[in-house]
Structures are given as structure tokens and as C-alpha cells.
Amino acid sequence: MTTVLSLDEAKRRGLIRFFPGEPCKHGHFAERYVKGNRCVECDRMW
């Protein structure tokens, strides 16, 4: 289970990815990259 974490908290902790707890604009319920706030699944697909 992935813990919900805000972008600001992830930046503060120096993390590469975070899980916002909501789907991206394409409907993926996945982690996002701190740099650019891109969805990991969208990035993998394109």
C-alpha cells in the first residue's frame, strides 16, 4: 500500500516520486514524479 503524500512534503523529504491519492488527468491512479508532477504511468506509456 502506498502512502498518500503531498508534493510539498515529497520535496521537503528529497524524494523522487510521491503518491497524491487521486488519479491523473488520464485516469491513472499512480505515483507522480516530484520534478514536473508527471504521472509515472503516463510517462511509461509515452
Predicted pLDDT of residue 1: 64
Round to whole Å and give the CA distance between 21 and 45.
20
Predicted pLDDT of residue 25: 96
Distances in whole angstroms, Cα of residue 28 to Cα of each of 13, 14, 23: 24, 24, 5
Per-residue pLDDT of the chain (46 residues; tens, 9 = 90+): 689 999 999 999 999 999 999 999 999 999 999 999 999 999 999 8
Q: Model-level pTM?
A: 0.87
Task: Sketch the domain layout of the chain as residue ranges.
Answer: 7-45
